[in-house]
Amino acid sequence: MSDVVIAGIGQTEVGEHWDLGLRDLAYAAIHDAIQDAGGLKPQSLFVGNMLAPNLSRQAHVGALIADYAGLNGIEAVTVEAAGASGGAALRQGYLAVASGFVDVALVVGVEKFTDKVGAGVDEALATASDSDFEAVQGMTPAAQAALLMKRYMHEYEVPADGFAGFALTAHAHGAGNKNAMFRKAIKAEVYAKAEMVSDPLNMFDMAPNADGAAALVLTRRDLLPSSWASPLVKVAGSGSSSDTLALHDRKDMLFFDTAQISAGKALKQAGLSLDGVDFFEYHDAFSIFAALQLEAIGFAVRGSGWKLAADGSIGLKGKIPCATMGGMKARGFPGGAAGVYQAVEAATQLRGQAEACQIAGARFGLIQSLGGPASTTVSHILQRLD
Residues 290 and 300: their CA atoms lie apart, in Å, by 11
Query: In the predicted model, is pLDDT for residue 231 greater than 90?
Result: no
Question: What DSSP assignment string belongs to 159-196?
Answer: -TTTTHHHHHHHHHHHTT-TT-S------HHHHHTPPE
Q: pLDDT tens across 210-230, in order?
A: 999 999 999 999 999 888 888
Q: Which residues contact 136 (CB under 8 A, 6 or more apart)?
A: none
112 to 23, 82, 116, 338: CA distances (angstroms):
10, 14, 9, 12
Residues 302 and 308: their CA atoms lie apart, in Å, by 12
Q: What is the mean pLDDT of residues 98-111?
A: 98
Q: In this predicted structure, which of 118-122, 196-200, 330-334 has the lowest mean pLDDT?
A: 118-122
Phi, psi of 375 (to 5 degrees): -65, -30
What is the reported pLDDT for 381? 98
What is the reported pLDDT for 230? 80
* Beta carbons within 10 angstroms of residue 305's beta carbon: 28
Q: In which element (H, E) is residue 125 found? A: helix 119-125
Residues 168 and 147: their CA atoms lie apart, in Å, by 22
Q: What is the dihedral of CA 221, 227, 231, 233, to 10 degrees?
A: 0
* pLDDT confidence tier of residue 260, bands split at 50, 70 and 90: very high
Q: What is the b/e burial string over 186-220, where b = at least 16 CB atoms within 10 angstroms of the residue's CB?
A: beeeebeebeebbebbbebbbbbbbbbbbbbbbbb
Measured at the CA of 109, the angle between CA 306 and CA 13, to 5 degrees, comes to 75
Q: Could you tell me which of 93, 103, 6 has the C-alpha nearest to residue 383?
A: 6
Residues 122 and 140: their CA atoms lie apart, in Å, by 7
* Cα 263 off chain centre by: 14
Q: What structural domains and CATH numbers belong to the chain?
A: 4-118+209-232 (3.40.47.10), 128-208+234-385 (3.40.47.10)
Q: pLDDT tens across 160-211, in order?
A: 999 999 999 999 999 999 999 999 999 999 999 999 999 999 999 999 999 9
CB 265 within 8 A of CB 241: yes
* pLDDT confidence tier of residue 20, bands split at 50, 70 and 90: very high
Residues 85 and 39: their CA atoms lie apart, in Å, by 26
Q: Which residues contact 123 (CB under 8 A, 6 or more apart)?
A: 54
If you compute the radius of gyration of the chain from its CA atoms, what whole number of angstroms results?
Answer: 19
What is the reported pLDDT for 226? 83
Query: What is the pairing mode between strands 279-281 and 364-371?
Result: parallel
What is the reported pLDDT for 147? 97
Q: Could you tell me which of 74, 101, 67, 105 has the C-alpha nearest to residue 89?
A: 105
Query: In the predicted model, is pLDDT for residue 1 greater than 80?
Result: no
Q: In which element (H, E) is residue 89 found? A: helix 85-99
Residues 83 and 334: their CA atoms lie apart, in Å, by 9
Query: In the predicted model, is pLDDT for residue 113 greater than 80?
Result: yes
CB 259 within 8 A of CB 292: yes
What global pTM score does this model have?
0.97
